Amino acid sequence: MARKIAILGGTGPEGSGLANRLARAGEHIVIGSRDAARAEETARQLRAHIGGSAQIEGLVNSAAAAQCDIAVLTVPFSGQAALLKQLKGVWNPGTVVIDTTVPLAATVGGSPTRMLGVWQGSAAEAAAELLPAGVSLAAAFQNLGAELLAGDAPLDCDVLVCSDDEKAKQVAMELAARIPGVRAVNGGKLENARIVESMTALLIGLNIRYRVHSAGLRFTGLPAK
């Protein structure tokens, strides 16, 4: 049976954007939400938008987490810890969790170009503390804005993948590379997510200063393959 990818918090713009891109790449997507009806509605809209072959369903977060092979965490930072506590007993061993969370100060009413300090170093490292043994974690996709992920135009961005787990890193890098125009770049250990997360605040600032919606990152000087 084909693998299932849960997008937890998938009714928000970032989550539904990733669902859009991964469903177009042929993945079987389960939108997760606190509210099953909203998850189903987002799934329906995405299917209508993408057309025929898109495999997208909607479930509450816990049901989506329980039946997926890969879970992409796209809730706001303010909801990340509560969701992971709720899901602690739900995960199947072997699940790969990909955290996209950015602790923007906007989460608590501050600026979207400033970061909150997270005691563990990053939202990703905070997530690591709340996952049970047997579930592996990578951090990725933080630098792809929701407006980039909508639609189907090829992107022009690198996605840094940070993880202390080799399998999770490989899964996340392979998944990122399925989005047209994305190159997956090995971002090293999970602790480097603190740098990658803060780069999102910088990109939001560039969007504001240059009056665009689609600032992204490319690394130069890396080997062609």
Where along the sequence are the contacts to its own copies (CB under 8 A)? 113-114, 148, 156-157, 160, 185-188, 191-192, 194-196, 198-199, 201-203, 205-206, 209-223
CB of 111 to its own copies, least distance (A): 10
CA angle (1, 86, 69) in 5-degree steps? 15
If the CB atoms of residues 79 and 188 are measured against its own copies, the closer one turns out to be 188
Distance CA 57, CA 38 (A): 11
**What's the min distance (Å) between Cβ of 65 and its own copies?**
30
**How far, in Å, CA of 51 to CA of 57, rounded?**
14
Asked if 144 contacts 176 with a C-beta cutoff of 8 angstroms, the reply is no
Closest to its own copies by CB, 150 or 206: 206
Asked if 74 and 102 count as a contact pair (C-beta separation under 8 A), the reply is no
In whole angstroms, the minimum distance from the beta carbon of 101 to its own copies comes to 17
Nearer to its own copies, 85 or 189 (CB): 189
Give DSSP secondary structure letters for 92-108.
PTTPEEEE----BGGGG
Q: Which is nearer to its own copies, 40 or 147 (CB)?
A: 147
Query: Using CA atoms, how far apart are residues 220 and 138, in angstroms rounded to an integer?
Result: 23
Could you tell me the smallest distance in angstroms from the CB atom of residue 106 to its own copies? Answer: 15
